[in-house]
Amino acid sequence: MNNYEKEWDNVWSKKTFLSRMVTYGRNFYDKFFFKLILPFESKEKKFLEIGCGTSSLLLKLANNFKKCVGLDISNEALKISSNNAERLKIKNVNFIKGDCFNLPIKNNIFDVVWSQGLIEHFENPLKIIEEHYRVCKKGGVVLISTPAKYSYQSIWYLLTRPKFLRRFWPWTYQEFYTKRKYKKLIKSLNYNYKIFKLPGDLTKAFIILKIEK
């Protein structure tokens, strides 16, 4: 078990303040992400979420796609996802365990590949972006969401840096993005892309990277 797997298993296995905060945050943003993904939905398409967590968004989207797959490194998160899908009687979903640096998925499988709150936790996000692109079909779309530099996440991150408060933030590494930083990150990749920021105050300040094949 690697450090990230252990870390996230600990988050999802216990109903702590931290796990409740993560769940609340994801549920809050789901309504914005649902609208973001809406133009790409189709009963003929396959959807993949990398780093799905407990799949709150994926399960809301499932009925709008032919097939949905959630991938995560945490066994605990996948167990919760599977139980929720069964409870909601959603049949067209599948959950698999995997590393975002080396997805256990063949090339060109999915029409829509999505992640949120993922690449900013790693020092080599380019490799993760390349994996998103690799498993996406020609003509498909990759959507990657990260917290913006001036968002409530960045404020919370700074406030919880003292050691006695670190139990309120699960990650040892974190980046916050600006449009300029995104451009610098992906300039070496030969992709067509668009970078934009969701409108709103600090609670909605996300930057989205869209790569179309």
The total of other beta-carbon atoms located within 10 Å of residue 71's CB is 22
The label of the residue with tokens 């809406």 reads: 38
Residue 7 three-state SS: helix
pLDDT digits (tens, 9 = 90+) for 95-109: 999 999 999 999 999
Q: Given strand 42-50, what is the order of strands in its sheet? A: 93-97, 65-72, 42-50, 110-116, 136-147, 206-212, 192-197
First to last CA, the chain: 34
The CATH T-level fold of domain 3-212 is Rossmann fold (3.40.50)
What does the pLDDT read at residue 91? 94
| Residue-averaged pLDDT of the chain | 83
